[in-house]
Amino acid sequence: MYDIIVIGAGINGGLLAHRLSKYNLKVAVLEKDNDAGNAATAANSAMVHSGHDPKPGTLKAKLNVRGNELYDELCEELKVDFIRNGAMVVATDESELPTLYELYQQAQDRNVPARIMEREEAIALEPNLSDEVIKAMDLPTTGLISPWEVTIAALESAMDNGVDLFLNNEVVNIDKKDGYFDITTNKAVYQTKIVINSAGVFADDIYRMVSKQTTYNIRPRRGEYYVLDRADQPVVTRTIYPLPSEKGKGVLVVPTIHNNILLGPNSDYIDDKEGVDNTAEALEYIRREVSKTVKNIPMHTIIRTYSGLRATPDTGDFIIEEAKDVPNFVNLIGIESPGIASAPAITEYVFDNILKDLIPLEKKTEPYKERRPWIILNRMSVEEKQEYFEKDPRFGQMVCRCELISEGEIVDIIHRNAGATTVKGVKRRVRPGAGRCQGGFCEPRVIDILARELNVAPCDVLYDSDEAKILIGKTKE
C-alpha cells in the first residue's frame, strides 16, 4: 500500500515526487507514456514567466509570481540550467499603450520588477525589434529552463531517494475503497491512501473515474512552433511578447537555454487530446505575427516544428484542491500556462494547503542523496574531458557532430533512474538529434547504442511512443 500515488509524470508530477521523496512516505508515480515529461511539459515555450500577466485574484497570478521566485533554488538543487534572460512586452501601435500600462501596474501591484522604456532604450537592448515598436516593458526576472530536464532530474532525484516510477502504466480505472484507492492501470493494480491527479490534459477524465458530480472539463488548446538552429548571436536575447489578447500571451520570439530561437505559439481549440499536429495555416500565422515585433528573423535556419496542448479548463483558473466529493483525492486540473513557471509553487501549495491536513509529513532523518548531473563534455575544460577519456574511451567516440555528444554521455543517461529508453528520450536529455541535421547522421548510432545497452533488437528501439517504430526489418541478412 502506498501513502501517495501521483498520476502523471509531467513537470508537476515530477516536482511533487521530488518533494515527497524528502518525507517518510511510500510514494509512486504512474505514467502512461514510456518517458517522463512527454506531454505538455515537452512542447511549450519553456519560459518562467515573471507573473505580470495572469488576471488579478487568480491562483495563476499568485503561483506564477511565487514559482518564479522559487526557480533559482530548485534548479541549483537539481543541478539543471536556469537563466533569467529577461523579457520585453512591446507595443506596436498607440492603441496598445493603455494595455501596456495596465500590465505595468499589474506587475507593480505584484512586486514583479518592471520598467516602461521608450523605443530608443528598447532598441539599444534588442536591436532587432521591429520598426513598428513604439514602447516596451522590460521584465528582467523572466527566465528560461528546459522543462523536461527539470522534470526528469526531479524524478531521477525522487527515485534515488526511494520513490517508485512506473512508466507505460496508463490509469484506466480508480475504485474508492474504505480508506484507500485501488488504481488499475493497463499493467497492474496499485493501492494507495492518497491520490494526486496530475494528468495534464486528461486530469478531468481521471477525476471522472471517481466522481459523478464533477463539472470540470478540459478542452485542449493547441500551440504550434518553429525552432531555429542554434546561433552564437541569436536574433534576440530576451523573450519578446506582443500585447496579450483574449487568446493568451500572443505569438512570441523566445530564446532557449541552448541558444535556439522558438517562434510561436498560436492558440487554437481542438477536440483531440492527442492532436499534436502542425498545420500550414498556424505556421503561416506565426510567421506573420512574429514579423510585427521582431525583424531580421533568420527563417532560413528553421530546423523543426512542433506543437503542444494546453489543458484549458472551463473555469479560467488552475483548480488545485482536495476533491469536495472524494476525500484524499487531490486534483491538479487546468494546469495550462503558466503551469511551468508556477510548478515549484504548485508543489508548495499542495503541501501547505492540502497534504498537511491529510497525512503526517515527517522529514526523513537519513541524508538526502544529491542528484548527479548529466555529463556534458562540451561544457568541460580540456583537462576535465581528458579525465573522462581516460576513465572510459567511449567518451572519446563522437556520436552527434552538430551538438558534439559522445557515446559515453549517451550510455550514462540510459543507465540511470528514470533513464532514456527511446531515441527522443536520449535527445531530450543530452541532445543528439537536436542540432542542424536533426538526427540525420547520429540517429542510426543512437539506435545501435540503445539496442546494445537495453539488450533489445534494433527493430524494437522506438523513436518516441509505442507506435513510433523506426526500423521494420533487415534489408540484407
Residues that bind ligand FAD (CB under 6 A): 7-13, 30-33, 38-41, 43-47, 49, 170-171, 198-202, 206, 223, 265, 308-310, 335-341
Instruction: Report how far Cα 402 is from the mean position of its chain's Cα atoms.
Output: 23
| 309, 222 Cβ separation under 8 angstroms | yes
Residue 43 and residue 306 in contact, taking contact as beta carbons nearer than 8 Å: yes
Whole-number minimum distance, CB 365 to ligand FAD, in Å?
A: 30
Q: 7 or 235: whose CB is closer to ligand FAD? A: 7
| Min dist. Cβ of residue 119 to ligand FAD (A) | 26
Neighbours of 253 (CB within 10 A): 28
Task: Provide the minimum distance between the beta carbon of 118 and ligand FAD in the complex, in angstroms, as a whole number.
Answer: 27
Residues pairing with 174 in the sheet:
183
Distance CA 269, CA 184 (A): 31
Q: Which is nearer to ligand FAD, 366 or 467 (CB)?
A: 467
- Return the H-helix or E-strand segment holding 193: strand 189-197
Give the shortest CB-46-to-ligand FAD separation in angstroms: 6
Residue 234 cell numbers, joined: 541569436
- 73-86 b/e with 16+ CB inside 10 Å = b? ebbeebebbbebbb
Query: Residue 21 and residue 158: Cα distance in Å, rounded?
Result: 5
Least distance CB 134 / ligand FAD (angstroms): 25
DSSP element (H, E) containing 307:
strand 302-313
Cβ-closest position to ligand FAD: 339
Q: Closer CB to ligand FAD, residue 202 or residue 395? A: 202
Q: Can 18 be counted among the known catalytic residues?
A: no
Residue number with CB closer to ligand FAD (21 or 337): 337
Q: Are 238 and 329 in contact (CB under 8 A)?
A: no
* CA separation for the pair 99, 111 (Å, rounded): 18
The Cα 289–Cα 81 span in angstroms is 29
Residue with cell 488552475: 318
Residue closer to ligand FAD by CB (options 320, 461) is 320
- Pairing state of beta strands 189-197 and 181-185? antiparallel
- Considering the complex, what minimum distance in angstroms separates the CB of residue 29 from ligand FAD? 9
Identified catalytic residue from 18, 49, 258, 415: 49
Nearest Cα neighbor of 186 from 202, 174, 171, 205 is 171
Nearer Cβ to ligand FAD (38/92): 38
Which residues are annotated as catalytic? 49
